[in-house]
Amino acid sequence: MDCMRIQSPLSPKKNWKYDVFVSFRGETRYNFTDQLFDALHRYSIVAFRDDTKLEKGGLISAGLLEAIEGSQVLIVVFSINYASSTWCLQELAKIADCIETRGQRVLPVFYDVSPTEVRRQSGNYEEAFMKHEQRFKDDAEMTEQVRRWRAALTQVANLSGWDVNTCFFICMSFLSYQVF
């Protein structure tokens, strides 16, 4: 795991390890997400960045869960295939838990996907959840997990956020500014 360690201009109320954690699907890594990390860096914001190869379908690592808990602001970059990743959905469920238990601020970003599609879990999101439900239909524990992922998606997607399709350059600088 790599993370950008930059002097932060903040004096956090809690002892946060990171200013920001970004949850994203790999499809955005070399375009929007890289630019977002660069913008955060320019504003001297300490952002956790997991650049390791992630095992498809595996359980989320304890280190990643700790990074989510240890970040003051959680940015979720919803993209067209975000919901097809069980790893992303595990992160999202943890993020939803942190809203409730730790009071962390969450900023949803809609990249190359309609906010309505994400909120209503239609289109690619509906297809992804149907596949998860089919895959885990004989496993009661995982069926409950899929239900939890749906609830977390609803909770986070309904927060006020940014549609990058309509404001890419404005969003990049505004997101960096709005983190705090």
Q: How far apart are CA 58 and CA 61, in angstroms?
A: 9
CA distances from 170 to 7, 81, 99, 167, 173 (A): 24, 24, 26, 5, 6
Contact 20, 49 (CB under 8 A): no
Contact 157, 125 (CB under 8 A): no
Q: Which pair of structure tokens corresponds to residue 142?
A: 């995982």
Q: How far apart are CA 163 and CA 147, in angstroms?
A: 26
Say whether 91 is catalytic.
yes
Residues 27, 91, 117, 141: which is the catalytic one?
A: 91
Closest CA to 90 of 115, 123, 121, 55: 55
Query: Active-site residue numbers?
Result: 91
